[in-house]
Amino acid sequence: MQDTRSALDEVEEHEPIQSVDENTLGESPKNATRQPVVDRLMTVHPALKYLGFSLLMAYHYLMWFCPSSFFKTDLLAASVTVAWLWNLVGTAFFMIVAVVLLGRKRHLSDYPWVMRIVTVLLIVATALLLYGAPITSSSYVIYIFSFIAGGLEGLMWILWGESLTRARANFSVVHIGTTFGATVLVVMVVSLFVPADFSPLFVMLLAALSGVFLYAHKKIPTTYPVLLPRDTVKPTFSSVLAVCSVGCFTGVACYYLVAIVPWEHFAVGEHIFVIGVVTGALLILLVSGLSVLFKAKASMFKLFPYYLVFAIVGLTLFQSHESLYPLAFVVGLSVSSLLEISLIMYFGTLMRRGFFAPALAVTFSVASIRIGIALGNCLGLFYERHADIAQFAVTPTTLIFICVLAFVLVPVGKLEPRFIALTTAPVAPSQIDTICSQIIAEFKLSEREGQILKLIARGNTVNSIANKLVISPHTVNTHIRHIYDKVGIHKRGELLEYINMKKEEQV
């Protein structure tokens, strides 16, 4: 009888689907000249994988922070300000509903028509919103368009999360930070030179380009990571809820600051919003550049406490003197943009490891910060429209924000080791049986398949397993094929990675 190869290599009868990992990008395929331009772009450098995703982020910032984005309408007209709040609520609402309807195993991109429909409807809703503001006499019509546009943007976020997960995106600070920062910076600077009447078209173009890149991602022949068993994921929820809560509260604090500062007295007027967004883009580029320069492995949690410190600084500047209002405004707006992209990086890492389905992970990251932004803006607007209350309430409110952010700084700092242990530390031998038992229960493996799974986890070869269980190697291979089919993997390396909870070197 032919010798059985070690480590189960001989049972890989399923041809693994090609993975487009970031570590392999940058090597141009031989037939690259025959590929569409968008497809070729994504093979040039790993960071370009996030270009379409960054365009969607730039779309949001340009629409709501560029002074000329609304056709013949002031950016901070009362109707536009309220419409923005409806847009934020629409994004969170649509994403939450989608997560509930999809459940744990289904994906929005499983339905081929969704991607095209969502992109087209987002462009149409954006056009109706930006060009309809000066035409319609009813503000409620604008609010409806804004709510729908926000919801469609939320669905695009889910589609992008699923696409990047399939493409094995690492969500590293260097790659996603560089692309996000450069894209937002270029878009905001270019918007300053676009004629006002054409600014809405520029916003619509960004949504269209994001859809084009999304469609190009769809053609990448990869699969989703297999989700970890529910019992394995449960311990992560405390950390996830802590991150979402702190992110949401920081968003409240930052946009309370943005809304309460009297921007109309600034020399640059509404362009202070552009300055704030550009500052955020420059800061994330700075972090990415320093990570490359010093070859540092910057994690999201190494940055997170600094965001809280900067938020405290912004609130302190506002409380100090009127001359510092512009700086406080810029700090608040830039920190919120940094926080949003950092939350996406954090949850992107978890969904890549199989802890959460992409739709749920993206919803956690985007919805939590958007809800915080909406709440903070509502509080600031309330004080702005009730001057009698604001006279005695603004200072105590600002001090409360400062104290709470300072109080949570220490717990947030302690989250970093937990996150690193969650995603990079190897599984202890004592945990292997527990994890295997959770996999057996999750995928309903038979008693014999469960025995073989535990032996595989301990490094046994096919022959070794056959000798221990007193069965033939052929029978062992048959059981292994059944395990592969039930768990949804294709080879030994994937199975061992799965048992190790998809932990790997941090990037």
What would the two tokens of residue 139 be?
């503000």
Q: What is the pLDDT of residues 20-35, one digit of tens each?
A: 445 444 444 444 445 5
Q: Are residues 437 and 414 in the same domain?
A: no
**Which of the listed residues 404, 423, 442 is the one where a domain comes to its end?**
423
Q: What is the mean pLDDT of residues 462-474?
A: 85
Is residue 316, in this structure, part of any structural domain at all?
yes
Q: Are residues 203 and 232 in the same domain?
A: yes
Q: What is the CATH number for 386? A: 1.20.1250.20
pLDDT at residue 34, rounded to an integer = 52
pLDDT at residue 180, rounded to an integer = 93
Q: Are residues 415 and 452 in the same domain?
A: no
Lowest mean pLDDT among 174-183, 262-271, 316-325: 262-271
Helix (H) or strand (E) holding 412: helix 387-423
Is residue 504, in this structure, part of any structural domain at all?
no
Q: What is the pLDDT of residues 32-61, one digit of tens each?
A: 445 555 555 555 556 678 999 999 999 999
Domain count, the chain: 2
Residue 329 has pLDDT above 80, yes or no: yes
Q: Are residues 198 and 255 in the same domain?
A: yes
Residue identified by tokens 């809304």 is 259
Q: Are residues 224 and 273 in the same domain?
A: yes
| Single-letter residue type at 409 | L
**Which of the listed residues 423, 451, 481 is the one where a domain comes to its end?**
423
Q: How far apart are CA 382 and CA 388, in angstroms?
A: 11
Which residue segment(s) compose the domain that 81 sits in?
Answer: 34-423
Under 8 Å between Cβ of 365 and 391? no
Here the contacts of 297-302 (C-beta below 8 Å, separation 24 or greater) are 297/506, 297/507, 298/173, 298/174, 299/173, 299/416, 299/419, 299/420, 299/506, 300/173, 300/342, 300/343, 300/345, 300/346, 300/349, 300/419, 301/346, 301/412, 301/415, 301/416, 301/419, 301/420, 302/416
Q: Are residues 102 and 146 in the same domain?
A: yes
Q: What is the mean pLDDT of residues 148-155?
A: 96
Q: How many CB atoms sit inside 10 A of residue 82's CB?
A: 18
Q: Are residues 55 and 112 in the same domain?
A: yes
Is residue 289, in this structure, part of any structural domain at all?
yes
The band of 4, judged by pLDDT with boundaries at 50, 70 and 90, is very low
Under 8 Å between Cβ of 79 and 136? no
Q: Are residues 407 and 368 in the same domain?
A: yes
Torsions phi, psi of 461, nearest 5?
-85, 175
Under 8 Å between Cβ of 102 and 357? yes
Q: Are residues 187 and 212 in the same domain?
A: yes
Q: Are residues 363 and 439 in the same domain?
A: no
Q: What is the CATH number for 488? A: 1.10.10.10
**Which of the listed residues 407, 423, 439 is the one where a domain comes to its end?**
423
